[in-house]
Amino acid sequence: MIQTLLNITLSALGTTLSMPGYLYGGFVFIALIPLFFALEKKRPFTSAIITFVYFFLFSFINFHYLINTLTTGLPELFGRFGASTGFAVYLLFGILEALPFLLFGFLYGLWLEKTRLRLFEPLFVGSIYVISDYLRGIGDLGFTGGRLSDALYNFKGLIQILPYTGTLGLVFIVVVVNYESYKLLKKNKQNIVLVLSVVALIFLLNGIVESFLPKSVGDKPVVLAQTNMPQKVKYSYEASEIVKYLQDSFSESHNYLTIFPEGVFPGTDIRNSEIEKSLLETFKNRIFIIGFPTLETKDAYNSAVIYSKGTFLNKYDKVQLFPFVETLPYKTIFGRLEFLKGMYYFSSGEIKTFDIPGYGKVGIQICFESFFPYISRKLSEKSEFLVVITNDGWYNSKIPLIQHFAQAIFRAVETRRNVIQVSNTGISGVVDEYGNYTILPDGTAWRTLYVKSNTQNTFYTKYGDYIVIACLLFNIITGITAKKKSSLFD
Protein backbone atom coordinates (compact mmCIF):
# COMPACT_ATOMS: atom_id res chain seq x y z
CA MET A 1 0.00 0.00 0.00
CA ILE A 2 2.78 2.46 0.93
CA GLN A 3 4.65 1.71 -2.29
CA THR A 4 1.46 2.21 -4.30
CA LEU A 5 0.79 5.60 -2.67
CA LEU A 6 4.40 6.59 -3.24
CA ASN A 7 4.16 5.73 -6.94
CA ILE A 8 0.89 7.64 -7.30
CA THR A 9 2.43 10.68 -5.64
CA LEU A 10 5.56 10.51 -7.78
CA SER A 11 3.47 10.47 -10.95
CA ALA A 12 1.32 13.37 -9.76
CA LEU A 13 4.42 15.40 -8.91
CA GLY A 14 6.18 14.44 -12.13
CA THR A 15 3.20 15.42 -14.25
CA THR A 16 2.87 18.72 -12.40
CA LEU A 17 6.55 19.60 -12.83
CA SER A 18 6.17 19.06 -16.58
CA MET A 19 3.30 21.54 -16.88
CA PRO A 20 3.75 25.10 -18.24
CA GLY A 21 5.21 27.41 -15.62
CA TYR A 22 6.85 24.69 -13.56
CA LEU A 23 10.15 22.92 -14.25
CA TYR A 24 10.51 21.19 -17.63
CA GLY A 25 7.97 19.89 -20.12
CA GLY A 26 10.12 16.91 -21.16
CA PHE A 27 9.39 15.23 -17.83
CA VAL A 28 5.96 14.35 -19.19
CA PHE A 29 7.49 11.45 -21.17
CA ILE A 30 8.44 9.64 -17.94
CA ALA A 31 5.93 11.08 -15.46
CA LEU A 32 3.39 8.24 -15.75
CA ILE A 33 5.87 5.40 -15.26
CA PRO A 34 5.35 5.22 -11.46
CA LEU A 35 1.58 5.23 -12.02
CA PHE A 36 1.82 2.13 -14.21
CA PHE A 37 3.89 0.41 -11.51
CA ALA A 38 1.14 1.31 -9.02
CA LEU A 39 -1.42 -0.33 -11.31
CA GLU A 40 0.42 -3.64 -11.55
CA LYS A 41 -1.73 -6.68 -10.75
CA LYS A 42 -4.64 -4.53 -9.65
CA ARG A 43 -8.23 -5.41 -10.49
CA PRO A 44 -10.65 -2.92 -12.08
CA PHE A 45 -12.11 -1.19 -9.03
CA THR A 46 -8.75 -0.86 -7.30
CA SER A 47 -7.20 0.49 -10.51
CA ALA A 48 -10.03 3.00 -10.83
CA ILE A 49 -9.35 4.33 -7.32
CA ILE A 50 -5.61 4.56 -8.04
CA THR A 51 -6.05 6.60 -11.23
CA PHE A 52 -8.67 8.80 -9.58
CA VAL A 53 -6.30 9.58 -6.71
CA TYR A 54 -3.47 10.25 -9.18
CA PHE A 55 -5.43 12.80 -11.18
CA PHE A 56 -6.89 14.41 -8.06
CA LEU A 57 -3.41 14.91 -6.59
CA PHE A 58 -2.11 16.21 -9.90
CA SER A 59 -5.01 18.67 -10.23
CA PHE A 60 -4.68 19.75 -6.60
CA ILE A 61 -0.97 20.56 -7.02
CA ASN A 62 -1.01 21.88 -10.58
CA PHE A 63 -3.91 24.29 -10.08
CA HIS A 64 -2.84 25.36 -6.59
CA TYR A 65 -3.04 29.03 -7.64
CA LEU A 66 -6.85 28.74 -7.61
CA ILE A 67 -6.73 28.32 -3.83
CA ASN A 68 -5.78 31.97 -3.36
CA THR A 69 -8.48 33.06 -5.81
CA LEU A 70 -11.16 31.04 -4.02
CA THR A 71 -10.08 31.74 -0.44
CA THR A 72 -8.97 35.37 -0.79
CA GLY A 73 -9.66 36.97 -4.19
CA LEU A 74 -13.36 36.23 -4.67
CA PRO A 75 -14.32 36.58 -0.97
CA GLU A 76 -12.63 40.00 -0.76
CA LEU A 77 -14.32 41.29 -3.91
CA PHE A 78 -17.81 39.88 -3.49
CA GLY A 79 -17.99 38.90 0.19
CA ARG A 80 -20.44 36.04 -0.27
CA PHE A 81 -18.38 33.28 1.34
CA GLY A 82 -15.32 32.70 3.51
CA ALA A 83 -11.92 31.12 3.02
CA SER A 84 -12.93 27.68 4.32
CA THR A 85 -15.86 27.52 1.90
CA GLY A 86 -13.57 28.58 -0.93
CA PHE A 87 -11.15 25.77 -0.09
CA ALA A 88 -14.02 23.26 -0.03
CA VAL A 89 -14.97 24.43 -3.53
CA TYR A 90 -11.38 23.84 -4.63
CA LEU A 91 -11.55 20.27 -3.35
CA LEU A 92 -14.79 19.81 -5.29
CA PHE A 93 -13.03 21.11 -8.40
CA GLY A 94 -10.27 18.50 -7.95
CA ILE A 95 -12.83 15.73 -7.53
CA LEU A 96 -14.73 16.75 -10.67
CA GLU A 97 -11.49 16.88 -12.66
CA ALA A 98 -10.50 13.39 -11.51
CA LEU A 99 -13.86 11.64 -11.94
CA PRO A 100 -13.36 10.68 -15.63
CA PHE A 101 -10.17 8.86 -14.69
CA LEU A 102 -12.18 6.33 -12.76
CA LEU A 103 -13.00 5.04 -16.24
CA PHE A 104 -9.32 4.93 -17.24
CA GLY A 105 -8.34 2.84 -14.23
CA PHE A 106 -11.36 0.57 -14.45
CA LEU A 107 -10.80 -0.34 -18.10
CA TYR A 108 -7.05 -0.66 -17.53
CA GLY A 109 -7.63 -3.24 -14.82
CA LEU A 110 -10.43 -4.97 -16.72
CA TRP A 111 -8.89 -5.59 -20.13
CA LEU A 112 -5.18 -4.77 -20.29
CA GLU A 113 -3.80 -8.18 -19.31
CA LYS A 114 -6.32 -9.92 -21.55
CA THR A 115 -5.45 -8.23 -24.84
CA ARG A 116 -4.72 -10.72 -27.59
CA LEU A 117 -1.59 -9.08 -28.97
CA ARG A 118 1.29 -7.39 -27.17
CA LEU A 119 1.16 -4.65 -29.83
CA PHE A 120 -2.35 -3.78 -28.67
CA GLU A 121 -1.31 -3.00 -25.08
CA PRO A 122 0.19 0.51 -25.52
CA LEU A 123 -2.49 1.40 -28.07
CA PHE A 124 -5.19 0.31 -25.63
CA VAL A 125 -3.67 2.28 -22.74
CA GLY A 126 -3.28 5.40 -24.88
CA SER A 127 -6.85 5.04 -26.11
CA ILE A 128 -8.50 4.79 -22.71
CA TYR A 129 -6.48 7.74 -21.43
CA VAL A 130 -7.54 9.85 -24.42
CA ILE A 131 -11.21 8.98 -23.89
CA SER A 132 -11.02 9.84 -20.18
CA ASP A 133 -9.29 13.14 -20.90
CA TYR A 134 -11.82 13.98 -23.59
CA LEU A 135 -14.73 13.35 -21.20
CA ARG A 136 -13.14 15.75 -18.73
CA GLY A 137 -13.44 18.56 -21.27
CA ILE A 138 -17.10 18.30 -22.31
CA GLY A 139 -20.32 19.56 -20.79
CA ASP A 140 -21.07 22.58 -18.60
CA LEU A 141 -18.34 21.51 -16.17
CA GLY A 142 -15.81 20.75 -18.88
CA PHE A 143 -12.20 21.89 -18.64
CA THR A 144 -9.16 20.86 -20.69
CA GLY A 145 -6.42 22.45 -18.59
CA GLY A 146 -3.82 19.96 -17.39
CA ARG A 147 -3.72 17.80 -20.50
CA LEU A 148 -0.42 15.97 -20.88
CA SER A 149 0.03 17.84 -24.16
CA ASP A 150 0.21 21.13 -22.23
CA ALA A 151 3.73 20.19 -21.16
CA LEU A 152 4.92 20.40 -24.76
CA TYR A 153 3.76 23.91 -25.67
CA ASN A 154 7.38 24.99 -26.22
CA PHE A 155 8.35 21.87 -28.21
CA LYS A 156 7.63 23.48 -31.56
CA GLY A 157 8.69 20.46 -33.59
CA LEU A 158 6.44 17.98 -31.79
CA ILE A 159 3.37 20.20 -31.80
CA GLN A 160 3.36 20.30 -35.61
CA ILE A 161 1.25 17.14 -35.32
CA LEU A 162 -1.62 19.26 -34.00
CA PRO A 163 -3.09 20.31 -37.38
CA TYR A 164 -3.73 16.61 -37.98
CA THR A 165 -4.64 15.21 -34.55
CA GLY A 166 -5.26 18.07 -32.13
CA THR A 167 -3.80 17.96 -28.63
CA LEU A 168 -5.40 14.56 -27.91
CA GLY A 169 -3.14 13.01 -30.54
CA LEU A 170 -0.17 14.33 -28.62
CA VAL A 171 -1.67 12.99 -25.38
CA PHE A 172 -1.93 9.56 -27.00
CA ILE A 173 1.76 9.60 -27.98
CA VAL A 174 2.87 10.69 -24.50
CA VAL A 175 0.91 7.89 -22.82
CA VAL A 176 2.25 5.26 -25.24
CA VAL A 177 5.85 6.38 -24.60
CA ASN A 178 5.29 6.23 -20.84
CA TYR A 179 3.69 2.80 -21.01
CA GLU A 180 6.41 1.30 -23.19
CA SER A 181 9.06 2.80 -20.91
CA TYR A 182 7.33 1.19 -17.94
CA LYS A 183 7.34 -2.19 -19.71
CA LEU A 184 11.07 -1.88 -20.39
CA LEU A 185 11.81 -1.04 -16.76
CA LYS A 186 9.55 -3.80 -15.51
CA LYS A 187 11.52 -6.29 -17.61
CA ASN A 188 14.88 -5.01 -16.39
CA LYS A 189 15.66 -1.97 -14.26
CA GLN A 190 18.89 -1.52 -16.19
CA ASN A 191 16.80 -0.56 -19.20
CA ILE A 192 16.70 2.95 -17.73
CA VAL A 193 19.48 3.86 -20.18
CA LEU A 194 17.33 2.65 -23.07
CA VAL A 195 14.33 4.58 -21.79
CA LEU A 196 16.32 7.79 -21.52
CA SER A 197 17.74 7.20 -24.98
CA VAL A 198 14.23 6.94 -26.43
CA VAL A 199 13.25 10.20 -24.74
CA ALA A 200 16.43 11.85 -26.00
CA LEU A 201 15.59 10.66 -29.51
CA ILE A 202 12.17 12.33 -29.22
CA PHE A 203 13.85 15.57 -28.21
CA LEU A 204 16.25 15.25 -31.15
CA LEU A 205 13.33 14.74 -33.52
CA ASN A 206 11.66 17.83 -32.06
CA GLY A 207 14.78 19.88 -32.70
CA ILE A 208 15.15 18.65 -36.27
CA VAL A 209 11.54 19.44 -37.17
CA GLU A 210 11.77 22.82 -35.47
CA SER A 211 14.86 23.74 -37.46
CA PHE A 212 12.89 23.36 -40.71
CA LEU A 213 9.89 25.45 -39.65
CA PRO A 214 9.46 28.57 -41.78
CA LYS A 215 9.47 32.02 -40.24
CA SER A 216 6.04 33.60 -40.38
CA VAL A 217 5.92 37.36 -40.99
CA GLY A 218 2.71 39.28 -40.42
CA ASP A 219 1.63 42.28 -42.48
CA LYS A 220 -1.39 43.58 -40.54
CA PRO A 221 -0.57 45.91 -37.61
CA VAL A 222 -2.54 45.44 -34.40
CA VAL A 223 -2.23 47.38 -31.14
CA LEU A 224 -2.27 45.13 -28.07
CA ALA A 225 -3.55 47.29 -25.20
CA GLN A 226 -2.73 45.63 -21.87
CA THR A 227 -4.48 47.57 -19.12
CA ASN A 228 -2.33 46.25 -16.22
CA MET A 229 -5.07 47.03 -13.70
CA PRO A 230 -5.01 44.95 -10.49
CA GLN A 231 -8.27 43.22 -9.72
CA LYS A 232 -8.98 45.11 -6.51
CA VAL A 233 -8.34 48.43 -8.21
CA LYS A 234 -10.46 47.63 -11.27
CA TYR A 235 -13.48 46.60 -9.23
CA SER A 236 -13.22 49.67 -6.99
CA TYR A 237 -12.97 52.20 -9.85
CA GLU A 238 -15.97 54.01 -11.21
CA ALA A 239 -16.52 53.66 -14.95
CA SER A 240 -15.55 57.32 -15.37
CA GLU A 241 -12.19 56.66 -13.69
CA ILE A 242 -11.55 53.66 -15.95
CA VAL A 243 -12.27 55.59 -19.14
CA LYS A 244 -9.94 58.36 -17.93
CA TYR A 245 -7.24 55.73 -17.36
CA LEU A 246 -7.73 54.39 -20.90
CA GLN A 247 -7.51 57.86 -22.35
CA ASP A 248 -4.30 58.64 -20.49
CA SER A 249 -2.66 55.29 -21.22
CA PHE A 250 -3.65 54.50 -24.82
CA SER A 251 -4.66 57.66 -26.67
CA GLU A 252 -1.12 58.00 -28.02
CA SER A 253 -1.04 54.46 -29.43
CA HIS A 254 -1.23 53.98 -33.19
CA ASN A 255 -4.56 54.14 -35.02
CA TYR A 256 -4.56 50.48 -35.97
CA LEU A 257 -7.00 47.82 -34.85
CA THR A 258 -6.69 48.05 -31.06
CA ILE A 259 -7.55 45.17 -28.75
CA PHE A 260 -8.31 45.69 -25.07
CA PRO A 261 -8.79 42.86 -22.53
CA GLU A 262 -11.91 41.20 -21.16
CA GLY A 263 -14.04 43.04 -18.61
CA VAL A 264 -12.33 46.44 -18.80
CA PHE A 265 -15.54 47.80 -17.29
CA PRO A 266 -16.26 44.81 -15.00
CA GLY A 267 -19.80 45.59 -13.88
CA THR A 268 -21.05 48.24 -16.27
CA ASP A 269 -22.69 48.12 -19.68
CA ILE A 270 -21.39 51.42 -21.05
CA ARG A 271 -23.43 51.37 -24.25
CA ASN A 272 -25.49 54.51 -24.88
CA SER A 273 -23.85 56.30 -21.96
CA GLU A 274 -21.60 59.32 -21.47
CA ILE A 275 -18.79 56.87 -20.75
CA GLU A 276 -19.17 55.29 -24.17
CA LYS A 277 -19.39 58.71 -25.79
CA SER A 278 -16.15 59.80 -24.14
CA LEU A 279 -14.41 56.55 -25.11
CA LEU A 280 -15.50 56.82 -28.73
CA GLU A 281 -14.38 60.42 -28.93
CA THR A 282 -10.89 59.43 -27.77
CA PHE A 283 -10.56 56.55 -30.24
CA LYS A 284 -12.71 57.97 -33.03
CA ASN A 285 -10.10 57.30 -35.72
CA ARG A 286 -9.70 53.60 -35.17
CA ILE A 287 -11.39 50.23 -34.81
CA PHE A 288 -11.12 48.67 -31.36
CA ILE A 289 -12.36 45.67 -29.41
CA ILE A 290 -13.06 46.01 -25.69
CA GLY A 291 -14.62 43.75 -23.09
CA PHE A 292 -17.50 44.57 -20.74
CA PRO A 293 -20.85 42.98 -19.78
CA THR A 294 -23.80 43.80 -22.02
CA LEU A 295 -27.28 43.76 -20.53
CA GLU A 296 -30.33 42.97 -22.63
CA THR A 297 -33.98 42.87 -21.51
CA LYS A 298 -33.72 39.59 -19.62
CA ASP A 299 -30.15 38.44 -20.11
CA ALA A 300 -26.60 39.52 -19.34
CA TYR A 301 -23.63 38.58 -21.53
CA ASN A 302 -19.88 38.61 -21.10
CA SER A 303 -19.08 40.47 -24.31
CA ALA A 304 -16.32 41.67 -26.57
CA VAL A 305 -17.69 44.82 -28.17
CA ILE A 306 -16.35 46.06 -31.51
CA TYR A 307 -16.36 49.76 -32.36
CA SER A 308 -15.40 51.19 -35.74
CA LYS A 309 -14.35 54.84 -35.94
CA GLY A 310 -16.83 56.22 -33.48
CA THR A 311 -19.74 53.82 -33.93
CA PHE A 312 -20.84 50.46 -32.56
CA LEU A 313 -20.05 47.70 -35.08
CA ASN A 314 -20.95 44.39 -33.42
CA LYS A 315 -20.29 42.23 -30.39
CA TYR A 316 -19.31 38.68 -29.48
CA ASP A 317 -20.96 37.08 -26.45
CA LYS A 318 -19.00 34.44 -24.59
CA VAL A 319 -20.14 30.90 -25.42
CA GLN A 320 -18.29 28.71 -22.89
CA LEU A 321 -19.08 30.21 -19.51
CA PHE A 322 -17.01 29.56 -16.39
CA PRO A 323 -19.04 27.22 -14.16
CA PHE A 324 -20.37 28.61 -10.86
CA VAL A 325 -18.79 32.05 -11.36
CA GLU A 326 -20.39 33.01 -14.71
CA THR A 327 -23.16 30.43 -14.86
CA LEU A 328 -24.75 27.87 -12.53
CA PRO A 329 -24.57 24.41 -14.14
CA TYR A 330 -26.92 21.58 -13.22
CA LYS A 331 -28.99 23.65 -10.80
CA THR A 332 -30.72 20.66 -9.25
CA ILE A 333 -27.31 19.33 -8.13
CA PHE A 334 -25.27 22.49 -7.53
CA GLY A 335 -28.00 25.01 -6.70
CA ARG A 336 -26.47 25.72 -3.29
CA LEU A 337 -23.26 26.98 -4.91
CA GLU A 338 -24.96 30.08 -6.29
CA PHE A 339 -22.98 32.18 -3.80
CA LEU A 340 -19.92 31.76 -6.07
CA LYS A 341 -21.51 34.10 -8.62
CA GLY A 342 -19.39 37.00 -9.83
CA MET A 343 -21.04 40.24 -10.98
CA TYR A 344 -23.70 38.43 -13.05
CA TYR A 345 -24.84 35.03 -14.19
CA PHE A 346 -24.41 35.30 -17.93
CA SER A 347 -26.31 33.76 -20.81
CA SER A 348 -24.36 31.93 -23.50
CA GLY A 349 -23.83 33.54 -26.89
CA GLU A 350 -23.18 32.06 -30.33
CA ILE A 351 -19.97 31.17 -32.16
CA LYS A 352 -19.60 33.70 -34.96
CA THR A 353 -16.97 35.67 -36.84
CA PHE A 354 -16.78 39.36 -37.69
CA ASP A 355 -15.79 41.21 -40.83
CA ILE A 356 -13.47 43.97 -39.62
CA PRO A 357 -12.63 46.59 -42.27
CA GLY A 358 -9.02 46.25 -43.41
CA TYR A 359 -8.49 43.00 -41.49
CA GLY A 360 -10.95 40.52 -42.95
CA LYS A 361 -12.83 37.87 -41.01
CA VAL A 362 -11.84 37.69 -37.34
CA GLY A 363 -12.84 35.15 -34.67
CA ILE A 364 -12.99 36.32 -31.05
CA GLN A 365 -12.81 34.29 -27.84
CA ILE A 366 -13.09 35.41 -24.24
CA CYS A 367 -10.98 34.22 -21.29
CA PHE A 368 -10.76 30.46 -20.75
CA GLU A 369 -12.58 29.74 -24.03
CA SER A 370 -9.09 29.35 -25.50
CA PHE A 371 -8.83 26.09 -23.52
CA PHE A 372 -11.56 24.60 -25.74
CA PRO A 373 -10.36 23.55 -29.21
CA TYR A 374 -13.88 23.18 -30.59
CA ILE A 375 -14.48 26.93 -30.38
CA SER A 376 -11.27 27.81 -32.24
CA ARG A 377 -12.03 25.14 -34.82
CA LYS A 378 -15.48 26.55 -35.53
CA LEU A 379 -14.18 30.11 -35.65
CA SER A 380 -11.27 29.26 -37.95
CA GLU A 381 -13.60 27.74 -40.54
CA LYS A 382 -14.49 31.28 -41.57
CA SER A 383 -11.92 33.56 -39.90
CA GLU A 384 -8.48 34.63 -41.03
CA PHE A 385 -6.98 35.03 -37.55
CA LEU A 386 -8.16 34.65 -33.96
CA VAL A 387 -8.33 37.02 -30.99
CA VAL A 388 -8.46 36.05 -27.31
CA ILE A 389 -9.27 38.74 -24.73
CA THR A 390 -8.92 37.79 -21.10
CA ASN A 391 -8.60 39.04 -17.55
CA ASP A 392 -5.95 37.05 -15.69
CA GLY A 393 -5.79 39.51 -12.82
CA TRP A 394 -7.15 36.95 -10.37
CA TYR A 395 -3.78 35.29 -9.84
CA ASN A 396 -0.70 36.15 -7.78
CA SER A 397 1.43 33.58 -9.62
CA LYS A 398 3.05 33.43 -13.07
CA ILE A 399 2.08 29.78 -13.51
CA PRO A 400 -1.60 30.29 -14.51
CA LEU A 401 -0.57 33.09 -16.86
CA ILE A 402 1.84 30.80 -18.70
CA GLN A 403 -0.66 27.92 -18.74
CA HIS A 404 -3.29 30.19 -20.25
CA PHE A 405 -1.01 31.62 -22.93
CA ALA A 406 0.09 28.07 -23.83
CA GLN A 407 -3.47 27.46 -25.03
CA ALA A 408 -3.10 30.26 -27.59
CA ILE A 409 -0.06 28.41 -28.95
CA PHE A 410 -2.00 25.15 -29.32
CA ARG A 411 -5.00 26.85 -30.95
CA ALA A 412 -2.71 28.66 -33.40
CA VAL A 413 -0.93 25.49 -34.53
CA GLU A 414 -4.11 23.39 -34.65
CA THR A 415 -5.87 25.83 -36.93
CA ARG A 416 -2.81 27.39 -38.65
CA ARG A 417 -4.19 30.77 -37.66
CA ASN A 418 -2.34 33.63 -36.02
CA VAL A 419 -3.72 34.10 -32.50
CA ILE A 420 -3.64 37.40 -30.62
CA GLN A 421 -4.07 37.23 -26.86
CA VAL A 422 -4.58 40.41 -24.86
CA SER A 423 -4.81 40.15 -21.10
CA ASN A 424 -5.31 42.56 -18.25
CA THR A 425 -2.37 41.65 -15.99
CA GLY A 426 -1.46 38.37 -17.69
CA ILE A 427 0.51 37.62 -20.85
CA SER A 428 -0.33 39.43 -24.08
CA GLY A 429 1.20 38.54 -27.41
CA VAL A 430 0.86 37.17 -30.92
CA VAL A 431 1.36 33.51 -31.88
CA ASP A 432 1.95 32.50 -35.49
CA GLU A 433 0.71 29.35 -37.18
CA TYR A 434 3.82 27.36 -36.21
CA GLY A 435 3.77 28.22 -32.50
CA ASN A 436 6.34 31.04 -32.57
CA TYR A 437 5.27 33.89 -30.36
CA THR A 438 6.08 37.47 -29.42
CA ILE A 439 4.87 38.75 -26.06
CA LEU A 440 4.71 42.15 -24.42
CA PRO A 441 7.38 42.70 -21.75
CA ASP A 442 6.11 42.91 -18.16
CA GLY A 443 4.53 46.25 -17.40
CA THR A 444 4.13 47.28 -21.04
CA ALA A 445 0.92 49.20 -21.66
CA TRP A 446 0.73 48.75 -25.41
CA ARG A 447 2.69 47.64 -28.42
CA THR A 448 2.04 47.27 -32.12
CA LEU A 449 2.57 43.72 -33.38
CA TYR A 450 1.78 42.17 -36.73
CA VAL A 451 -0.47 39.30 -37.80
CA LYS A 452 -1.13 37.64 -41.12
CA SER A 453 -4.27 36.09 -42.53
CA ASN A 454 -4.86 32.49 -43.55
CA THR A 455 -8.00 30.97 -45.03
CA GLN A 456 -6.92 27.33 -45.51
CA ASN A 457 -8.47 24.88 -43.07
CA THR A 458 -6.41 22.13 -41.46
CA PHE A 459 -7.38 18.46 -41.25
CA TYR A 460 -8.13 18.94 -37.55
CA THR A 461 -10.29 21.99 -38.26
CA LYS A 462 -12.38 19.93 -40.68
CA TYR A 463 -12.69 16.69 -38.68
CA GLY A 464 -12.09 17.67 -35.07
CA ASP A 465 -11.44 15.06 -32.37
CA TYR A 466 -11.97 12.08 -34.65
CA ILE A 467 -9.21 10.40 -32.67
CA VAL A 468 -11.69 9.91 -29.80
CA ILE A 469 -13.97 7.85 -32.05
CA ALA A 470 -10.99 5.80 -33.24
CA CYS A 471 -9.96 5.18 -29.62
CA LEU A 472 -13.50 4.19 -28.68
CA LEU A 473 -13.74 1.68 -31.53
CA PHE A 474 -10.36 0.22 -30.59
CA ASN A 475 -11.48 -0.18 -26.97
CA ILE A 476 -14.65 -1.97 -28.04
CA ILE A 477 -12.61 -4.36 -30.19
CA THR A 478 -10.21 -4.92 -27.29
CA GLY A 479 -13.06 -5.71 -24.94
CA ILE A 480 -14.78 -8.08 -27.37
CA THR A 481 -11.57 -9.99 -28.05
CA ALA A 482 -10.38 -10.11 -24.41
CA LYS A 483 -9.04 -13.54 -23.48
CA LYS A 484 -11.15 -14.19 -20.42
CA LYS A 485 -13.25 -12.63 -17.72
CA SER A 486 -11.95 -11.91 -14.23
CA SER A 487 -13.23 -10.61 -10.93
CA LEU A 488 -13.62 -6.88 -10.55
CA PHE A 489 -11.91 -6.77 -7.15
CA ASP A 490 -8.53 -7.92 -5.89
Count Cβ neighbours within 10 Å for each residue of 71-106 and write b for 16 or more, e otherwise. bebbbebeeebeeebbeebbeebbebbbbbbbbbbb
- CA separation for the pair 172, 174 (Å, rounded): 6
| Distance set, CA 418 to CA 15, 219, 432, 435 (Å) | 29, 11, 4, 9
Identify whether 433 is a catalytic site residue: no
- CA separation for the pair 43, 124 (Å, rounded): 16
pLDDT score, position 484: 62
- Given the residues 97, 262, 276, 433, the one annotated as active site: 262
- Given the residues 156, 315, 318, 378, the one annotated as active site: 318
Distance from chain centroid for Cα 342: 21
Q: The pTM is what?
A: 0.94
Identify whether 471 is a catalytic site residue: no
- CA separation for the pair 417, 431 (Å, rounded): 8
| Per-residue pLDDT tens digits of the chain, which is 490 residues long | 889 999 999 999 999 999 999 999 999 999 999 999 999 989 999 999 999 999 999 999 999 999 998 898 888 777 778 899 989 999 999 999 999 999 999 999 988 877 777 888 999 999 999 999 999 999 889 999 999 999 999 999 999 999 999 999 999 999 999 999 999 999 998 999 999 999 999 999 999 999 999 888 899 999 999 998 877 777 778 889 999 999 999 988 999 999 999 999 988 899 999 999 999 999 999 999 999 999 998 899 999 999 999 999 999 999 999 998 888 888 888 888 888 887 789 999 999 999 999 999 999 999 999 999 999 999 999 999 999 999 988 888 899 999 999 999 999 999 999 999 999 988 999 999 999 999 999 888 999 999 999 999 999 999 999 999 999 999 888 878 777 655 554 4
- Given the residues 367, 378, 414, 471, the one annotated as active site: 367
pLDDT score, position 5: 95
pLDDT score, position 485: 53
pLDDT score, position 490: 47
pLDDT score, position 425: 87
pLDDT score, position 163: 98
Distance from chain centroid for Cα 5: 29
Identify whether 378 is a catalytic site residue: no
